[in-house]
């Protein structure tokens, strides 16, 4: 971030906007978001493979206040009783974190085995966190707000009720439909095809990170950073072909 601060006036960041369209004009592109339109000669896409939405809890009263899919401020649940649904890393990680400040946490999963890392699960169990398996949710209890949750044992069909005001659902995410085809960018399954300079099939449009594909691609943070640098270098050469490349080391850009 210190490196970026040198350029934040010239290169502002626009948060909470979704790119909806990329339209080719004579010698530039119009990038339409849900809030404004940007005019640009080049575009660098680092979308991570697309946008995702949480998988919903689909039972009676699942739309009541108190059913959540992410935690904005963990302190909102201090000394509260919490039910966490799911068996993956997100569910167990949040159960462990919530156990540190809540009165009680119930981790509910429909299988007896968890997909999450065993070490994290053991930390949660060692902290006296409650594990309820194999149970599925049959109903959320309450009128306008959550007052509890009804569960059913997968095998015996035995019912149980947990009184709570808060249910955190961590069932995973669903990939939203890719807009790449609409934009005319070659790729499949949300991944953009690029060459060694991170160019796409469209002149002036580049891509980098986990959302690109090429032979030998490795989905790692370090390779993504390298791809971004490669793409920026290619963009600079595309926009200013007459300039001589003057590479600086990142450490020289940070003033102590």
* pLDDT, mean of residues 233-237: 95
What is the rounded distance in angstroms from the CA atom of residue 201 to the CA atom of residue 25?
A: 16
Lowest mean pLDDT segment, chosen from 32-41, 74-83, 242-251: 242-251
Report the CATH fold assignment for 1-51+176-252.
FAD/NAD(P)-binding domain (3.50.50)
E-state strands within 34-134: 37-40, 43-45, 52-54, 67-68, 81-85, 104-108, 130-132
Which ranges in the chain are annotated with CATH 3.50.50.60?
1-51+176-252, 54-173
- At residue 243 the predicted structure's pLDDT band, cuts being 50, 70 and 90, is confident
- At residue 250 the predicted structure's pLDDT band, cuts being 50, 70 and 90, is low
pLDDT at 222 over 80: yes
Tell me whether residue 45 is exposed, middle or buried, using C-beta atoms within 10 angstroms of its C-beta: 0 to 12, 13 to 18, 19 or more: buried
The token pair that represents 179 in the structure block: 């807009």
What is the rounded distance in angstroms from the CA atom of residue 255 to the CA atom of residue 126?
A: 45
CATH code for the structural domain at 54-173: 3.50.50.60
The token pair that represents 77 in the structure block: 């649940």
Full-prediction pTM beyond 0.75?
Answer: no
pLDDT digits (tens, 9 = 90+) for 58-117: 999 999 999 999 999 999 999 999 999 999 999 999 999 999 999 999 999 999 999 999
What is the rounded distance in angstroms from the CA atom of residue 173 to the CA atom of residue 187?
A: 21
Angle at 66 between CA 118 and CA 164, to 5 degrees: 70
pLDDT digits (tens, 9 = 90+) for 123-135: 999 999 999 999 9
pLDDT digits (tens, 9 = 90+) for 145-204: 999 999 999 999 999 999 999 999 999 988 777 788 899 999 988 899 999 999 999 999
The token pair that represents 65 in the structure block: 């206040």
- Residue 44 β-bridge partners: 206
């Amino acid at each position: 971030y210190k490196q970026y601060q040198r350029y934040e006036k010239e290169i502002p960041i626009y948060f909470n906007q979704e790119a909806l369209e990329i339209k080719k004009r004579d010698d530039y592109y119009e990038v339409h978001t849900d809030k404004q339109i940007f005019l640009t000669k080049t575009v660098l896409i680092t979308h991570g493979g697309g946008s995702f939405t949480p998988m919903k809890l689909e039972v009676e009263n699942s739309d009541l206040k108190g059913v959540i899919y992410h935690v904005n401020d963990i302190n909102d649940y201090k000394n509260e009783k919490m039910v966490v649904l799911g068996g993956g890393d997100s569910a167990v990680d949040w159960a462990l974190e919530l156990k540190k400040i809540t009165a009680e946490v119930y981790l509910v999963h429909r299988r007896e085995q968890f997909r999450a890392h065993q070490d994290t699960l053991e930390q949660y169990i060692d902290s006296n966190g409650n594990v309820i398996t194999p149970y599925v949710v049959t109903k959320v209890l309450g009128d306008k707000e959550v007052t509890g949750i009804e569960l059913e044992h997968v095998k015996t069909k035995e019912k149980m009720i947990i009184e709570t005001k808060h249910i955190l659902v961590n069932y995973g995410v669903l990939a939203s439909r890719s807009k790449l085809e609409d934009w005319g960018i070659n790729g499949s399954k949300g991944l953009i095809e690029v060459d060694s300079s991170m160019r796409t099939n469209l002149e002036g449009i580049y891509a980098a990170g986990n959302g690109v594909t090429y032979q030998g691609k490795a989905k790692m943070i370090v390779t993504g950073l390298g791809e971004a640098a490669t793409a920026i270098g290619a963009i600079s050469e595309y926009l200013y072909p007459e300039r001589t490349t003057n590479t600086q080391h990142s450490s020289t850009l940070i003033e102590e």
